[in-house]
Amino acid sequence: MARDINYFFGIGNLTKDPELRYTPQGTPVCRFRMAMNRRYQGKSGPVEEVTYITVAAWSKLAELCARYLHKGSRVAVVGALRSSSWEDRNGGKRTSYEIRAENIQFLSAPRGAASSDQDIIDFSQDIDVERFGTFSDEESGEPLGDLEDIPLEGNEETADDIPPF
């Protein structure tokens, strides 16, 4: 029997501050919306699309997100796509989708942090860097900036450029 794959990986920015709530059993859940931009060359010029998705983090990860993330924070999210279906007040069927986060990498400075090396070190020591750390320059320790799109023009690969498997 074939196995299905449900794997999400996305990098984007929070559209507003995350919301931390607790289930009746006391389990923390933090939800936030992130925006992911896509730029490409259309027939009539450059086109920019934005995709919005809701992310849900649970337990310790939820508390870390609520503590350190804020509107505009850049994050890399790994998780699985989940759907919820229900009937609205008019009896119509509704469906929503969200990402259940398994891992979130913080790609920008935490809430209220100054830009000194000491603040980055303190931030890294406060959380499990192996699982939740920031991407930083190995030499300076400074956080890396936004990722950039690299144009494909002039970068065409030939069969000789592609490494064997």
pLDDT, residue 105, reads 95
**38's tokens:** 């896509």
pTM for the full predicted model: 0.64
Mean pLDDT of 31-48: 94
Average pLDDT along the chain = 78
Mean pLDDT of 119-130: 37
| pLDDT of 144 higher than 80 | no
| Nearby residues of 157 by Cβ (< 8 Å), 6 or more positions away | none
| Banded model confidence at residue 149, pLDDT cuts 50, 70, 90 | very low
What percent of the chain is predicted at pLDDT more than 90? Answer: 61
Phi-psi sector, 136: left (phi>0), alpha (psi -120 to 50), beta: beta
Q: Which residue has the higher pLDDT, 132 or 82?
A: 82
pLDDT, residue 143, reads 52
| Banded model confidence at residue 117, pLDDT cuts 50, 70, 90 | very low
| pLDDT of 21 higher than 50 | yes
Mean pLDDT of 29-52: 94
- What domains does the chain contain, in order, with CATH numbers? 9-83+95-138 (2.40.50.140)
pLDDT, residue 135, reads 45
Q: For the chain, state the CA radius of gyration.
A: 19
pLDDT, residue 99, reads 97
Phi-psi sector, 18: left (phi>0), alpha (psi -120 to 50), beta: beta
76: which strand partners?
11, 105
Q: Which residue has the higher pLDDT, 148 or 108?
A: 108
